[in-house]
Amino acid sequence: MMENNSMIEKNVAQKEVLLEVLKSKINRQLLFYLDICARCAICRDACHQYKVTKDITFLPAYRAELIRRIYKKNISPFGRVFPGLFEGKEVDDEKLLEELGKAAYACTGCRRCMVYCPFSIDTTWVISVAK
């Protein structure tokens, strides 16, 4: 029982640390990138990794979407009220962390996605939060 309690406390503390990291990285550009992406996936073929593997984790919009889901659930004022609209996720969601790890480590930071995005969203900048 004691062990269980300390595990829960540790998890809560870890979650708070992760959230604080995300909050400390927020600036105006990042907020815009998180708020306005239309998920049109025009960036699809901009990423050489996605083009070759067809793995959704490497789709630039999806890489940024992983950070966006945490942002919507925990930080965005409207997203916190209606997280279901944006599929908001907790920062310690296991599947999300696994995908985020894969997306962040694989991103080379070439910024081709920014060149082709109709809104010039810099996915490298968004994913740097996870890096």
Partner 1 sequence: MNGFSFFAAGIMVYIAVIVFLVGMAYQIYGWVKIPRSSVRLGIFPRPKNKGVRFFKLLKDSFIFPHSAEVDPWMWIFAIFFHFSLAAVLLAHFRMVREFTPLVNVLGKEGMEKLGAIAGGTMGIILLITILFYIFRRFFSPYKDLSVFEDYFIVFLLIVIIALGDHLRFFAKLSVSDYRAYFQSVLMFRPYFPEAIAAKGARWVLTMHVFFVNLFVMYFPFSKLTHAIGTFAVNSVRSDV
CA atoms 66, 70, 75, 77: torsion sign = positive
Nearest distance in Å: CB 24, partner 1: 12
Name every residue whose Cβ is closer than 8 Å to that of residue 31 and which is 6 or more positions away in sequence: none
34: left (phi over 0), alpha (psi -120 to 50) or beta: alpha
Q: Is 53 in the site for partner 1 (CB under 8 A)?
A: no
Interface residue with partner 1 among 59, 91, 96, 130 (CB under 8 A) is 59
Give me the count of residues in the chain: 131
Nearer to partner 1, 3 or 77 (CB): 77
Nearest distance in Å: CB 94, partner 1: 18
Q: Is 116 in the site for partner 1 (CB under 8 A)?
A: yes
Contacts with partner 1 by CB under 8 A: the residue count is: 43
Please count the CA atoms within 13 angstroms of the CA of 120 that sit on its side-chain side. 1
Interface residue with partner 1 among 7, 10, 14, 54 (CB under 8 A) is 54
Distances (CA, A) of 74 to 7, 21, 37, 78: 22, 13, 18, 10
Q: Is 122 in the site for partner 1 (CB under 8 A)?
A: yes
Binding site for partner 1 (CB under 8 A): 26-33, 35-46, 54, 56, 59, 61-62, 65, 77-78, 84-87, 111, 114-122, 125
